[in-house]
Structure 1
Amino acid sequence: MRPLTLVAAMTLALCLGQAPLAAQALAHTHGATDTRMPTEGGQAAFAAIAGVVKILEADPSTDWSKVNLERLRLHLRDMDLVALRSAVTASPVVGGATFVVRGTGETVAAIKRMTAAHASMVEMMGGPRMARTELPDGVRLVVTARDSGSEAAIARIRGLGFIGLMASGDHHPMHHLMLARGEAMADHGHR
């Protein structure tokens, strides 16, 4: 659109109470995405699953007989329970911190599954040391820096806290895709 025509179209749209048309006209002139469509898939777990489905559908080598999106859904549910329904107390220890993570009902099992899998993944990737002890209502994690003399590493553990340590690392997207594909990998007890 020519600049004068664009201004006229936007002015007319606004005067007629058609703000979406004005926004659409503006978006088309700047190469923006279609403003009439949402960019998110909705609720976070739904959006994560939708992203995996998009990858699976685009990959001609997807073995649909092995795909198990229910397994991914249950894992995402565990993530939600641990992130939002657990109670965490933190206390500093030499070289890091202790995190006592507790829950009730189904949250207890989610805490145990998530921390077991994550502790082994962190160890495998060379992250901080994690000593995990199961409690009747959750777990105790003692997290210490590999280099006990590194004040920066110790500060990072304490600064991230339990949920930051659980969320850190680039392995989550690949793990989610592997769960959905039905590939052999720690699945936190979901079949």
Structure 2
Amino acid sequence: MRLGIGIAVLAVVSTGAIAVAQMDHSGHGSDMDRDLHGQMAATDASVLREPGQGAFAALSEVVRVLEADPETDWSRVDLAGLRLHLVDMDRLDTHAVVSDEELPNGIVATATGDAETVATLRRMVPAHAAHLARDDRWAVTASETAESVVLQVTSEDPAVVARIHGLGFFGLMASQDHHRAHHLMMARGEEAHRH
């Protein structure tokens, strides 16, 4: 009986918290015009906001942008390819087993996992390392072994080294915000690195 009451109380509290979270407009001023709020949401229809994880949300957002663009060449659209990439992003984030070894000037991160995860790492880490290497504040290399992928990022600047240490493997893989543009290029069937 007590367990049933506890579950009922938890359900009521959770429902209330969800309702409050959904209704929270604390960032809006009391004088914000409702029509203006709707216009603000609609004016930026060509900009992606979903960077990855949440594959359905990312696909939905891409579809919205493609449908809003009269120049979309539907014969080239490749949402299946984008979906596979989003699955890779999820697998990297949730299945990779990573050991970060801090160096005095950066890190060496060794990432591994089951066969599918290692295949994902081989597709994603070298491609993302190429993006990281465009930042001249650090040096980046990616290499493969039989069962892992190794990412090394180093710098001579102590402030950048602290940033590298703080980011670690997963932070480095999420940095250099090119993901949204890359996802849109993939969806449109344009040439984009396939990682």
Q: Which interval holds the TM-score relative to the shorter structure?
A: 0.7 to 0.9
Q: Partner of 1:93 in structure 2?
A: 103
Separation in 1, partners of 2:184, 2:137 = 22
1:53 aligns with 2:63: yes
Q: Aligned to 2:108, what secondary structure does the other structure show?
A: strand
Q: In 1, are the aligned partners of 2:98 and 2:109 still within 8 Å (CA)?
A: yes
Runs of at least 4 residues of structure 1 off by over 3 A?
29-33
- 1:138 partnered with 2:145: no
Q: How many residues align?
A: 156
Highest Rg: 1 or 2? 1
**Aligned match for 2:158, one of 147, 151, 156:** 151
Give the residue type in structure 2 aligned to 1:77: V
Q: CA deviation at 1:113?
A: 0.6
User: Root-mean-square deviation (CA), in Å?
Assistant: 2.8
In the TM superposition, residue 124 of structure 1 has moved relative to its aligned partner by 2.8
| 1:114 is the counterpart of 2:124 | yes
Long gaps (5+) in structure 1: 1-18, 34-39
Q: 2:179 maps to which residue?
A: 172
* Matched position secondary structure for 2:102: strand
Query: Quick one: which of 183, 187, 190 aligns to 1:183?
Result: 190
Counterpart CA distance in 1 for 2:127 and 2:174 is 12
State the TM-score, normalized to the length of structure 1.
0.73
* Secondary structure of 1:124 counterpart: coil
Q: Which runs of 5+ in 2 are unaligned?
A: 1-15, 39-49
How many Å apart are 1:94 and its aligned residue? 3.2
% identical aligned pairs: 45
Shift of 1:125: 4.4
Q: What is the CA-CA distance between 1:128 and the residue it aligns to?
A: 2.6
Q: Which amino acid aligns with 2:84?
A: L
